[in-house]
């Protein structure tokens, strides 16, 4: 054969041989080379390997290499293990253990013919430990039912791959690719670096070739190739603390530091002071981004103001700005969370607002401000803020639209009036439900009585949350359906004596009817993600009318319950009906028609007087916007480039001999001045209300060119925040209390935490930010 195997005592050497010679059948013993011609037969059942005897039952093991008696040996190649080894290839000594066993068989191969040999299973062979690093991530398993076939199972994702099928081994290249090239789904999902051992790898592995060492190292991709960035990780940690309101000292907690160490040992966890600096840096960067965005808004901004106090009786003023951008989308951003020495002081609040407007470059862009429902302070705010800010910031319409009261707070205040009017009976119902739910036997008995009475109600009897008036309404609504059950339960159980009387149930029914009005109104407003100011008129005028009718009801129980409600809401209506009416006029589906209709229902014969107030205010406000310059836009027939369409440009002559006719048209236009945008808008037919999913902002966006001045006015009016809280059902109104942890922080850090959280929630995704920075 072209090559022969010489097995020395201390090493294995492959020699490349030429053509067979006459002395190829010579045999050298005890460490010498043994040559066997391809045409000769080895008749012995034993063979000397150095000074050791190799029994015929033993099998040669390399790196999982087996030469069995049933395999064929050709002149130019040898089955080595289950892979083909070319004669010119070389196996280095460090790639295989010393060969302690030699291939033999009871029958030998003659020439090129194959003689089968029955080999007994290996009993005393030793397998070398696999050195390939891939086996740190895979385990060899036998295929159930077929012991000749084995598979490689990934220790991470438990995926299986071909390894050995009888006489053929699949190799390890596909296993390496699974781990190193990110094919393993577990590695893909890991958020930390996966430490993989670096090892020498062979060249291309295929059938007929063995793995050979190479100077190339594993090419790592995916997470294994990621680089650690201390600054980036510290920034992400600061954002995590801000967004989830974690305390700053979380960085010193042992469990947190242990977690970080297990994820990335290289990360140096900052102390509290350093983390404060990181948080403030995030605040400064996001403030700069917001300042740039606010400098480009086309209209004015409206504010909402809230009061906070701390356990140390310090005060904070929160200011939130709302505006509509150039694409006619509503935005709401926290601007400041400033500490003030005297939160109830008139001058302190006005000064805080003025300072905020100056910082954000909004001194000339303030349109309106929304306050809470603290009636005692509202009058002070109204007078003081109008006088202080109107003179400095040029507030529109002499400040008549400047101060707005929060609609959510007025609903909460009225709901609390209803609950207070029926406090006794509500307490009895609450205690009755506690009694029934405290024992399974009582609950079952209550259910049995309801079944016997065949009560068709599907409502569930449950306790309310005293700080959320909507749950109180739902509790009363369910209790009304089971009123008979409560009465019967009291007669048949001596332990229960909290059943309301017939008069009490009348109070519950009256209170429930009044709360339903508030409940439905709140749900209508909350159904809109970013409500514009026009939708609040619909709810306010209906509520004002219903409460007025209920207060005048002939039933004393109903009238007494509704009287206090109407008194509270009527004050809100008188303060805010003008701004509500101006806002709804900007809706092309209603305009002045809905104002006229609703006022006739509320004021009766005096409706015309109130309608005139709204109409005059609209025209006065429009004149103020008309006096402001408009941005450059295309010139259209019938209007000048300045946007003032009271004059008409002279049509050019087209050379058809009708110059006199052109002059005649110009004189008609001069003698009959065109109507203002506001008059044109009000006189046009109403947009059909049958249009599905009507979007008022989209309508104005499409009609900006037709009404350039009126659209500016509509943008500012529709951006007025009629409510300053997202949850209308919360009973928490007026001044709110900052928690003890936030109260202990420095004021600038408190402001950074509150404001940066809001800005991060509204910031664009990181991918968009990176692409913008690259441009």
How does DSSP assign 653-684, residue by residue? P-SSS-HHHHHHHHHHHHHSPPPPHHHHHHHS
Tokens of 304: 């909402």
> Which tens digits make up the pLDDT trace of 686-707?
999 887 789 999 999 999 999 9
* Site of tokens 């011609």: 37
Torsion of CA 684, 690, 693, 694, to 10 degrees: 10
- Stated length of the chain: 775
Tokens of 327: 């694409």
Helices (H) and strands (E) in the chain, counts: 24, 16
Whether the CB-CB separation of 708 and 643 falls below 8 Å is answered with yes
Looking at per-residue confidence, does 386 or 653 come out higher? 386
> Which tens digits make up the pLDDT trace of 62-79?
343 333 334 344 443 443
The helix-helix angle for 483-492 and 440-452 (nearest 10°) equals 120
Residue 675: its pLDDT value, please? 84
Tokens of 256: 């947190």
Instruction: Calculate what percentage of the chain has a pLDDT beyond 70.
Output: 67
Residues 747, 702: Cα–Cα separation, whole Å? 45
Whether the CB-CB separation of 63 and 96 falls below 8 Å is answered with yes
Sign of the C-alpha dihedral computed for residues 600, 601, 606 and 612 taken in this order? negative
Categorize the per-residue pLDDT at 21 as very low, low, confident or very high, splitting at 50, 70 and 90: very low
CA angle at residue 160 from 156 to 162, to 5 degrees? 135
Q: Where are the domains of the chain?
A: 134-181, 278-391+744-762, 408-624
Could you give the 3-state DSSP secondary structure of residue 79? strand
Residue 201: its pLDDT value, please? 34
**Dihedrals phi, psi of 168, to nearest 5 degrees:** -130, 135
Sign of the C-alpha dihedral computed for residues 428, 430, 431 and 435 taken in this order? positive
Residue 724: its pLDDT value, please? 85
Residues 6+ apart with CB under 8 A from 18: 2
> Which tens digits make up the pLDDT trace of 595-621?
999 999 999 999 999 999 999 999 999
Categorize the per-residue pLDDT at 630 as very low, low, confident or very high, splitting at 50, 70 and 90: low
Looking at per-residue confidence, does 774 or 130 come out higher? 130
Residue 456: its pLDDT value, please? 85
Residue 539: its pLDDT value, please? 94
**What would the mean pLDDT of 501-512 be, rounded to a whole number?**
92
Flag whether pLDDT at 760 surpasses 50: yes
**Dihedrals phi, psi of 322, to nearest 5 degrees:** -130, 135
The beta-carbon contacts of 236-242 under 8 Å, at least 24 apart in sequence, are: 237/270, 237/275, 237/278, 238/275, 238/278, 238/279, 238/281, 238/282, 239/282, 239/760, 241/275, 241/279, 242/279, 242/282, 242/753, 242/756, 242/757, 242/760
Closest CA to 179 of 220, 141, 131, 129: 220
**What would the mean pLDDT of 16-25 be, rounded to a whole number?**
41
Residues 753, 775: Cα–Cα separation, whole Å? 30
CATH class, domain 278-391+744-762, is alpha beta
Helix, strand and coil content of the chain, in percent to the nearest 5, comes to: 45, 10, 40
Closest CA to 297 of 734, 715, 706, 743: 715
Categorize the per-residue pLDDT at 297 as very low, low, confident or very high, splitting at 50, 70 and 90: very high
> Which tens digits make up the pLDDT trace of 388-413?
665 555 678 887 888 899 999 899 98
Residues 6+ apart with CB under 8 A from 43: 108
């Amino acid at each position: 054969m072209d090559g022969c195997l010489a097995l020395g005592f201390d090493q294995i050497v492959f020699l490349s041989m030429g053509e067979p010679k006459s002395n190829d059948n010579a045999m050298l013993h005890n460490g010498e080379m043994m040559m066997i011609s391809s045409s000769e037969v080895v008749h012995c059942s034993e063979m000397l390997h150095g000074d050791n005897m190799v029994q015929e039952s033993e099998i040669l093991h390399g790196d999982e290499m087996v030469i069995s008696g049933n395999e064929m040996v050709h002149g130019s190649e040898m089955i080595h293990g289950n892979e083909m080894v070319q004669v010119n290839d070389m196996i280095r000594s460090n790639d295989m253990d010393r060969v302690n066993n030699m291939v033999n068989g009871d029958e030998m191969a003659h020439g090129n013919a194959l003689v089968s040999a029955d080999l007994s299973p290996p009993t005393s062979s030793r397998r070398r430990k696999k050195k390939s690093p891939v086996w740190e991530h895979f385990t060899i398993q036998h295929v159930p039912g077929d012991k000749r076939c084995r598979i490689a199972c990934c220790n991470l994702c438990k995926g299986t791959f071909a390894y050995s099928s009888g006489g053929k081994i699949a190799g390890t290249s596909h296993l390496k690719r699974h781990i190193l090239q990110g094919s393993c789904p577990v590695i893909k999902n890991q958020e930390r670096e996966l430490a993989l051992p670096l090892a020498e790898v062979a060249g291309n592995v295929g059938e007929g070739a063995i793995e050979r060492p190479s100077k190339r190292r594993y090419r790592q991709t995916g997470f294994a190739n990621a680089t650690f960035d201390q600054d980036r990780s510290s920034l992400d940690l600061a954002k995590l603390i801000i967004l989830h309101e974690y305390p700053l000292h979380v960085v010193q907690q042992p469990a947190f530091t242990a977690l970080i160490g297990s994820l990335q040992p290289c990360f140096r966890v900052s102390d509290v002071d350093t983390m404060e600096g990181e948080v403030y840096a995030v605040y400064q960067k996001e403030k700069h981004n917001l300042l740039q965005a606010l400098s480009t808004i086309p209209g004015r901004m409206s504010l909402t103001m809230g009061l906070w106090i701390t356990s140390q009786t310090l005060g904070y003023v929160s200011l939130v700005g709302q505006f509509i951008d150039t694409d006619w989308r509503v935005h709401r951003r926290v601007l400041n969370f400033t500490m003030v020495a005297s939160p109830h002081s008139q001058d302190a609040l006005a000064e805080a607002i003025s300072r905020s407007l100056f910082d954000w470059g909004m001194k000339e862009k303030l349109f309106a401000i929304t306050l809470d429902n603290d009636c005692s302070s509202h009058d002070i705010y109204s007078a003081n803020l109008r006088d202080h800010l109107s003179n400095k910031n040029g507030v529109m319409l002499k400040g008549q639209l400047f101060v707005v009261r929060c609609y959510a707070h007025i609903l909460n205040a009225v709901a609390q009036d209803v609950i207070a009017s029926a406090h006794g009976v509500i307490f009895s119902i609450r205690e009755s439900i506690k009694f029934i739910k405290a024992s399974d036997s009582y609950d079952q008995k209550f259910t049995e009585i309801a079944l016997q009475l065949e009560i068709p109600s599907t409502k569930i009897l449950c306790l309310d949350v005293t700080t959320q008036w909507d749950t109180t309404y739902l509790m009363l609504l369910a209790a009304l359906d089971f009123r008979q059950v409560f009465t019967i339960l009291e007669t048949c159980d001596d332990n229960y004596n909290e059943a309301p009387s017939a008069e009490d149930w009348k109070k519950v029914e009256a209170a429930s009817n009044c709360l339903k009005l508030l409940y439905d109104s709140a749900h209508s407003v909350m159904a809109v993600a970013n409500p514009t100011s026009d939708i609040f008129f619909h709810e306010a005028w209906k509520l004002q009318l219903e409460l007025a009718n209920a207060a005048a009801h002939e039933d004393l129980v109903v009238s007494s319950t509704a009287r206090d409600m109407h008194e509270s809401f009527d004050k809100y209506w008188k303060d805010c009906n003008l701004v509500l009416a101006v806002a709804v006029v900007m809706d092309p589906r209603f305009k002045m028609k809905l104002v006229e209709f609703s006022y006739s229902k509320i004021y009766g014969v005096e409706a015309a007087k109130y309608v005139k107030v709204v109409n005059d205010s609209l025209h006065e406000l429009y004149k103020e916007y008309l006096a402001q310059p408009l941005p450059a836009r295309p010139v259209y027939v019938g209007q000048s480039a300045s946007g003032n369409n009271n004059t008409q440009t002279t049509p050019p002559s087209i050379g058809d001999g009708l110059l006199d006719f052109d002059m005649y048209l110009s004189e008609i236009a001069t003698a009959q001045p065109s109507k203002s945008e506001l008059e044109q808008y009000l006189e046009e037919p109403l947009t059909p209300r049958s249009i599905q999913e009507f979007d008022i902002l989209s309508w104005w966006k499409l009609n900006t060119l037709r009404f350039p001045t009126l659209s500016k006015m509509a943008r500012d009016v529709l951006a007025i925040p009629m409510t300053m809280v997202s949850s209308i059902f919360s009973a928490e109104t007026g001044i709110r209390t900052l928690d003890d942890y936030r109260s202990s922080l420095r004021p600038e850090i408190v402001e950074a935490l509150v404001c940066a959280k809001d800005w991060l929630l509204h910031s664009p995704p990181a991918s968009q930010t990176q692409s913008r920075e690259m441009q």
